[in-house]
Amino acid sequence: MPTETLQYQLAHAFADAGFHVEVICPIPSRGITEEVRISYRHKKREVLKDGRFVITRFYMPREGKNPFLRAFRYFMQNAVQYWKAIHVKDADVLFCASTPPTQGALCGLIKNRLKIPFVYNLQDIFPDSMVNAGMTKKGSFLWKLGRRVEDYSYRKADQIIAISQEGKRNILAKGVPENKVKVIYNWANTSIQPVPREKNKLFDELDLDRDKFYITYAGNLGPVQNVGLLLDAADQLKEHKDIRFVIFGAGVEAQALADRAKNMSNVNLFPMMPQDRLAEVYSLGDLSLVIARKDLGAAAMPSKTWSILAAGTPVLLSYDEGSELWNLIEQHDCGVYVPADDANMLAEKIKQASFDKNSLARISNNALAAVKKEASFEVCSKGYVLTMVNEQRTEYSEGKNVL
């Protein structure tokens, strides 16, 4: 689930808990048409929930692919947010997520001016994630700059909410005091429920046979995800006519994967589906893949995992053995797992699963139970609300206004 969606739902939870929430953000630019984007230019101030939730928007150009232009856009965005934030009256708690990566430093500066506590939601760990994605190298100028921004953000934050135990361990190793860090998982997409195969319209729209055994993947097609490994497994299983592979995605490796898949009769590659079709997407497969290259998944807890499980679909995990995600799937018995980068074992596990429908039915039930226990919106949002309540009771203030 996109970070923007998580934060929007969280803002609603804060308002429902009795906070007054003021959000300062640019007009939307991702995953929408230009027509919709233009319409937001006329929604510069939106008041929701009887005035308890206020969104103040400002114009920013779309993000481009040029890294320098994107960096300049971040600088301009943060400059506007700083100016607007320091003029908000009676703010008591400052809250932001770590995307874009300059947000933490921005909030540190706002905290200095407003003298209020700052809660930092660590959705991604920069610059580590840039190294993992091959965008820079450890020790480079960009990495050193990122580390300075990262250290400043952690130092200024009164409370840091990590989305995994691995993420917590990462920043503790960088000198962050443990009493500043707590872990709250990202919750499952609240709109996702299991869609029975006979009612799933995607089978008809995409001309897919409901009687086949499906492995699905939905998400980014980039170097970290290593989706080419799935095609390696598909190639090994091409003689098994009842096993099919369906990929929904976009990214830098999309064209290369499409060129390879066009000669594979057991693989279908489609564009990403809209957010309102995700329940159908994640319900389509008998198994749904979560994947990362070896040594790159240890600190990651992909939000899509919870969405897959919320659809009642067992996870097919190709990940670092012993990682937090591996242990979670194993603990709740809600998926099938193989070590990262092992196409042979991936193919073998898929074949075994296709012959054992009774086990998959049990795992599907376990998937729904795991989401309810670990990643329901009610459980996770309550953790955030309690954190904010505790922070606004510190020596800084006694109010209930979230910025």
Show the CA angle centred on residue 2, arms to residues 102 and 111, nearest 5°.
Answer: 30
Say whether both 74 and 31 belong to one domain: yes
Say whether both 228 and 213 belong to one domain: yes
**Does residue 67 belong to any structural domain of this protein?**
yes
Say whether both 332 and 352 belong to one domain: yes
Which helix H or strand E contains 301, and what residues bound it? none
pLDDT (tens, 9 = 90+) of the chain, 403 residues, equals: 667 888 889 999 999 999 999 999 999 877 677 888 888 888 889 999 999 999 999 999 887 767 678 778 889 999 999 999 999 988 999 999 998 889 999 999 999 999 999 999 998 888 887 777 777 888 888 889 889 999 999 999 999 999 988 899 999 999 999 999 999 989 888 789 999 999 999 999 999 999 999 999 999 898 888 899 999 999 999 999 999 999 999 888 999 999 999 989 999 999 999 888 999 999 999 999 999 888 876 656 788 899 999 999 999 999 999 888 999 999 999 999 999 999 999 999 999 999 998 999 999 999 999 998 888 888 899 999 988 888 765 554 444 677 7
pLDDT score recorded for residue 392 = 67
Number of domains forming the structure of the chain: 2
**Does residue 317 belong to any structural domain of this protein?**
yes
Residue with tokens 């040594």: 295
Q: Which two tokens stand for residue 83?
A: 């100016």
Say whether both 95 and 227 belong to one domain: no
**Does residue 344 belong to any structural domain of this protein?**
yes
Q: How far is CA 110 from the centre of its chain?
A: 26
User: What is the spatial distance between Cα 153 and Cα 120, in angstroms, rounded to a whole number?
Assistant: 8
Q: What is the DSSP letter of 94?
A: E
pLDDT score recorded for residue 64 = 72
Say whether both 101 and 180 belong to one domain: yes
**Does residue 192 belong to any structural domain of this protein?**
no
88: Cβ–Cβ under 8 A, 6 or more apart, which residues? 22, 24, 114, 403
Q: What is the DSSP letter of 124?
A: S
Say whether both 301 and 164 belong to one domain: no
**Does residue 288 belong to any structural domain of this protein?**
yes
For 266-273, which contacts have Cβ atoms below 8 Å and span 24 or more sequence positions? 266/234, 266/237, 266/238, 266/240, 266/241, 267/231, 267/234, 268/206, 268/208, 268/244, 270/206, 270/246, 272/218, 272/248, 273/202, 273/218, 273/248
Residue with tokens 């309540």: 389
Say whether both 129 and 227 belong to one domain: no
CA atoms within 13 A on the CB side of 112: 11
Peptide bond into 177 cis (omega under 30): no
Say whether both 262 and 355 belong to one domain: yes
Nearest to 402 by CA among 152, 176, 117: 117
pLDDT score recorded for residue 38 = 84
4: Cβ–Cβ under 8 A, 6 or more apart, which residues? 28, 30
User: What is the spatial distance between Cα 161 and Cα 102, in angstroms, rounded to a whole number?
Assistant: 17
Residue 379's alpha-carbon distances to 187, 199, 231, 309, 374, in angstroms, are 8, 30, 37, 16, 7
Q: Which two tokens stand for residue 346?
A: 């991936």
CATH number at residue 94: 3.40.50.2000
Say whether both 58 and 150 belong to one domain: yes
pLDDT score recorded for residue 31 = 64
**Does residue 107 belong to any structural domain of this protein?**
yes
Say whether both 204 and 353 belong to one domain: yes
Say whether both 114 and 46 belong to one domain: yes
**Does residue 284 belong to any structural domain of this protein?**
yes
Say whether both 124 and 215 belong to one domain: no
**Does residue 11 belong to any structural domain of this protein?**
yes
Which domain range does residue 40 map to?
Answer: 3-187+376-402
User: What is the spatial distance between Cα 339 and Cα 343, in angstroms, rounded to a whole number?
Assistant: 9
